[in-house]
Amino acid sequence: MPMWNPWRGCKRVSEGCKYCYIHKGDYKKGINTENIIKTDDFYKPIEKLKNGSYKIKKGIVYVCFSSDFFIEEADEWRKECWKMIKERSDLTFLFLTKRITRFYDCIPEDWNEGYDNVVICTTVENQKNADERLSFFSKLPIRHKCITAQPLLENINIEKYLDDIEIVVVGGESDYNARPLNYDWVLNIRKQCINKNVEFEFRQAGTYFIEDDKMTKLSVRELMKVAREKNINYKSK
Ligand code: SF4
């Protein structure tokens, strides 16, 4: 699974960031996460082998999983990233953002209706964020759109924003102090996706997982397993 982190570091923007795994990891290492810096991987998508072929051969490239692709501090650097993304039209680039409302400050001049090899995934965690971000997201010219509701912090209704969404991914929070995930909220989003025939994936449970009014504490290793065992993913028809 190719990863591309052209820069690292991020700043909290909303409730879902409270137990951000990047901040937690950096805290242990004594790194200031709010210091946004370019990484040595900046040119990774266009790096070549001695024989002249690209190092990354094919598939989906997961972008900026140690930051947010639309973070303000990277506005100057992002232009070069778009050029690389355009050059590698044989790859698909996917990133998540909590800063979708910055979209028009972040796209390249020739974006038009969107690059066909870019998937943009808007992250939401509660109804307030969902309404703010998805009402904006739903009007944007993007060829491939996804929604990630993780960490899901409350019951949310997003059905009216699902018209051109390719997949909705739902998950709980992972942390010793995590806020609980109620399974009813997951099933509710699943129902909304089925109503709109949108693919749905329950990616992970939460450290504190409530089902039938009973709360269970799960280890990190159990989070994805529990979600898988529910077997509730939905493929659009
Ligand atoms: S936007 Fe994402 S990467 Fe940035 S602080 Fe929030 S959770 Fe962490």
Q: What mean pLDDT is predicted for residues 205-221?
A: 98
For the whole prediction, is pTM greater than 0.85?
yes
- pLDDT per residue over 105-115, tens digit each? 999 999 999 99
Q: What is the DSSP string of 85-132?
A: HHHTTTSEEEEEES-GGGHHHHS-TT-TT--TTEEEEEEE-SHHHIII
Instruction: For residue 1, name the pLDDT band (cuts at 50, 70, 90).
Output: confident
Are 160 and 131 in contact by the 8 Å Cβ rule? The answer is no
Residue 14, Cβ density class (10 Å: 0-12 exposed, 13-18 middle, ≥19 buried): middle
What is the model's pLDDT at position 85? 98
Q: What is the DSSP string of 58-84?
A: SSEEEE-TTS-TT-GGGHHHHHHHHHH
Q: What mean pLDDT is predicted for residues 225-232?
A: 98
Phi, psi of 4 (to 5 degrees): -135, 110
164 three-class SS: coil
Question: Which residue's CA is the closest to the ligand 1 atom numbered 8?
Answer: 20
- pLDDT per residue over 78-106, tens digit each? 999 999 999 999 999 999 999 999 999 99
Non-local (6+) Cβ contacts of 119 within 8 A are 60, 92, 93, 94, 95, 144, 145, 146, 166
- pLDDT per residue over 17-72, tens digit each? 999 999 999 999 999 999 999 999 999 999 999 999 999 999 999 999 999 999 99
43 three-class SS: coil
Residues with CB under 6 A from ligand 1: 10, 12-13, 17, 20, 22, 68, 98
Q: Which atom of ligand 1 is nearest to the CA of 66?
A: 3
Phi, psi of 187 (to 5 degrees): -65, -35
- pLDDT per residue over 154-172, tens digit each? 999 999 999 999 999 999 9
Candidate from 5, 7, 20, 129 with most ligand 1 atoms within 8 A of CB, to mutate: 20
* Averaged pLDDT of the chain: 97
CA atoms within 13 A on the CB side of 16: 23
